Chains A and B, each alone.
Chain A
Amino acid sequence: MTLNALTIAEARAGLRRGDFTAAELTAACLEATAAAGALNAFVHVAGERARAMAAAADARLAAGPAPSLCGIPLGIKDLYCTEGVPSQAASRILAGFRPPYESTVTRQLWQAGAVMLGKLNMDEFAMGSSNETSCYGPAVNPWRRQGDSAPLTPGGSSGGSAAAVAAGLCLGATGTDTGGSIRQPAAFTGIVGLKPTYGRCSRWGIVAFASSLDQAGPMARTVRDAAILLAAMAGPDPFDSTSADIPVPDFEAALTGDIRGSRIGIPREYRMPGMPAAIERLWAEGAAMLRAAGATVVDISLPHTRFALPAYYVIAPAEASSNLARYDGVRYGHRARLGAGDGIVEMYEKTRAEGFGPEVRRRVMLGTYVLSAGFYDAYYNRARKVRTLIRRDFETVFAAGIDAILTPATPSAAFPLGAMEKADPVEMYLNDVFTVTVNLAGLPAIAVPAGLDGDGLPLGLQLIGQPWQEAALLNHADVLESAAGFVSRPAKWW
């Protein structure tokens, strides 16, 4: 087995046994990355820096006990600010931006000894579900339908992270999830993706999309690897007042494999008309696996589910329109070339028209509209009230003794790049139908690969946990992962 295909847990053991060095591990990943240009997953490779970090990790490992992530090569979503390394949220408007600071989450990863390989492709400002809004062009899914070479989307917005982890370019990656941006791409590429409870990870230094929904999280090849990554990413941060001041448990120690007596809810509102049979079957199989492991599976109701998407598409653009007001061509990034007589308003308007892609422009204008005088109550305030009801749905079932909720992760398997080109924007938004409720309620949720569809493409199941109960959630996910026995990897074509 090549080093870059190891799990984080395997690499951790191998490094400590002296089977290989962090330098060798990093070299294997850089080599795999250089040979995977067709996936367009990495958009800025930091080879020299990676080799220096790996050398430092080897010295640290030789000196004595080191954290789990010491010497583990990771990819970082382009949304994270990394000091001196281009960080442009896949947008033209941040072309050339090199942050003079490091995001809290990545700083914690480097302190734990992890190695940064480079920055990963994504949808522009994390707005998209197919990676096609990226200014770098889309990342490509390493998976293909059997007997078909049509390129598929790796999902979005963390599409580059998903493609890189699935293809073995890195051992793990960071993602962010505002409406499903970790879980949907994880499901589309047969990997594990965890969105923690809102406030578990600091948002400081991560380019903001919708501040009340955004949350950083790990993407990895196994549940255990996700637990290892989360431990290093999580924790309170004085730079983010919404990061929660509560202790970070030992997530890995929680993976006992014992979920006897646990109560799993199956929400009837997630049974969508027109859902592919393979997904419906997988969902039932997942419930049977948890039951076989000693859990009780019960039907539950989350009555406001169908209003989650419209509420999300009011709240997220509203927050985005405010957050993205900072891109004005004054302090960083792109500034439009001005004509004779152009003043500062022309500078703003031309800069933003040139710098933002169509989906970002659309959402900023939509958000501006729903926040404008006369419409604030009709749209934005109403959406926030519906959000209260959606959270209350979850609180009600948790109070009734439900430990975790099992749902499909996505309404379909990965679709071909370009398939949604002519579609209405709302059709693309429907990708988030199973994931977006969790962001609105601030809950933790994880996508676990659980099977293949008739075309040989991976499908994922989602487990939703109680607030701050990532440890228990990971334990359930670990049981599901073991029972499903998903070991398929994409056949290498790139």
Chain B
Amino acid sequence: MAIDIDTARKVAGLARIRVEEAALPGLAAELSRILAFMEELNAVDVAGVEPMVSVTPMRLRRRADVVTDGDCQGPVLANAPEAAEGFFAVPRVVE
């Protein structure tokens, strides 16, 4: 299936990646070419096949429901582009 310019714009928006209007036709064409490659999968008969959800069949380990970590505000914020009063700081979200 070919991706049109509107779909490319929508995908960029969902991915939260700014794509200038002028770059959208190129992006749409590029994604379409890759999707055409993926469409080889349509030649496989997958009737009755379960999708693979776990690489190795294993039961996830469980652990006691207790706090094992925390009280490390300093290291958590150390790499923040902007932090204030012990919080990550971002542009205004609520008017």
Contact of A46 with B by CB under 8 A: no
* Residue of B34, B39, B43, B76 with highest tally of chain A CB at under 10 A: B34
User: Are the CB atoms of B16 and A245 closer together than 8 Å?
Assistant: no
Contacts known (A244-B56, A425-B30, A425-B34); A386 close to B93, Cβ less than 8 A: no
User: Are the CB atoms of B53 and A369 closer together than 8 Å?
Assistant: no
B-side contacts of A385, CB under 8 Å: 44, 46, 49-52
User: Are the CB atoms of A97 and B37 closer together than 8 Å?
Assistant: no
Q: Which of A212, A372, A382 is in CB contact (< 8 Å) with B14?
A: A372
User: Are the CB atoms of B41 and A310 closer together than 8 Å?
Assistant: yes
Q: Which of B44, B51, B55, B58 is in CB contact (< 8 Å) with A307?
A: B44
Chain B residue at minimum C-beta to C-beta distance from A387 = B52
Interface residues of A in 431-455 (CB under 8 A from B): 442
B-side contacts of A368, CB under 8 Å: 11, 14-15
A-side contacts of B88, CB under 8 Å: 330-331
A92 → B minimal CB distance (Å)? 13
Chain B residue at minimum C-beta to C-beta distance from A313 = B38
B-side contacts of A310, CB under 8 Å: 37-41
Interface residues of B in 24-80 (CB under 8 A from A): 27, 30-31, 33-35, 37-44, 46, 49-53, 55-56, 58, 60-61, 63, 72, 75-76, 78-80
Q: How far apart are the CA atoms of A343 and B90 in the complex, in Å?
A: 9
B-side contacts of A306, CB under 8 Å: 40
Q: Which of A100, A335, A349, A425 is in CB contact (< 8 Å) with B81?
A: A335
A-side contacts of B90, CB under 8 Å: 330, 344, 347
User: Are the CB atoms of A333 and B41 closer together than 8 Å?
Assistant: no
User: Are the CB atoms of A343 and B55 closer together than 8 Å?
Assistant: no
B-side contacts of A379, CB under 8 Å: 35, 38, 41
Q: How far apart are the CA atoms of A458 and B91 in the complex, in Å?
A: 53
User: Are the CB atoms of B81 and A330 closer together than 8 Å?
Assistant: yes
B-side contacts of A382, CB under 8 Å: 41-42, 44, 46
User: Are the CB atoms of B17 and A353 closer together than 8 Å?
Assistant: yes
Q: How far apart are the CA atoms of A473 and B64 in the complex, in Å?
A: 37
B48 → A minimal CB distance (Å)? 9
Contact of A332 with B by CB under 8 A: yes
Q: Say which size band chain A's interface belongs to.
A: 35 or more
Chain A residue at minimum C-beta to C-beta distance from B40 = A310
User: Are the CB atoms of B17 and A349 closer together than 8 Å?
Assistant: yes
Q: Which of B18, B34, B40, B50 is in CB contact (< 8 Å) with A353?
A: B18
Number of A-B contacts (CB under 8 A): 165
Chain B residue at minimum C-beta to C-beta distance from A211 = B55
Interface residues of A in 88-116 (CB under 8 A from B): 96-98, 100-101
Q: Which of B55, B63, B81, B93 is in CB contact (< 8 Å) with A333?
A: B81
Contact of A394 with B by CB under 8 A: no
B-side contacts of A343, CB under 8 Å: 91-93
B-side contacts of A323, CB under 8 Å: none
A-side contacts of B85, CB under 8 Å: none
User: Are the CB atoms of A321 and B44 closer together than 8 Å?
Assistant: no
Q: Which of B8, B16, B55 is in CB contact (< 8 Å) with A199?
A: B55
B-side contacts of A97, CB under 8 Å: 79
Chain A residue at minimum C-beta to C-beta distance from B47 = A385
B-side contacts of A199, CB under 8 Å: 55-56, 58
Q: Which of B17, B38, B51 is in CB contact (< 8 Å) with A356?
A: B17
Chain B residue at minimum C-beta to C-beta distance from A382 = B41
User: Are the CB atoms of A388 and B78 closer together than 8 Å?
Assistant: no
B15 → A minimal CB distance (Å)? 4
A-side contacts of B14, CB under 8 Å: 368, 372
27 pairs from A and B in contact (CB 8 Å cutoff): A100-B72, A199-B55, A238-B61, A241-B60, A306-B40, A310-B39, A313-B34, A313-B38, A330-B90, A331-B76, A332-B79, A333-B79, A333-B81, A343-B93, A350-B18, A352-B16, A364-B17, A365-B8, A365-B17, A366-B34, A366-B35, A379-B35, A382-B46, A384-B53, A387-B52, A391-B52, A425-B33
4 closest A-B pairs (Cβ-Cβ)?
A384-B51, A100-B75, A335-B81, A332-B79
Contacts A310-B41, A313-B37, A425-B30 known; 11 new A-B pairs at CB < 8 A? A199-B56, A199-B58, A242-B56, A242-B58, A332-B81, A338-B91, A343-B92, A347-B90, A368-B15, A382-B44, A389-B49
* Chain A residues in the interface with B (C-beta under 8 A): 96-98, 100-101, 197-199, 212-213, 238, 241-242, 244-245, 304, 306-307, 309-311, 313-314, 321, 325, 328-335, 338, 342-350, 352-353, 356, 361-362, 364-366, 368-370, 372, 379, 381-389, 391, 424-426, 429, 442, 467
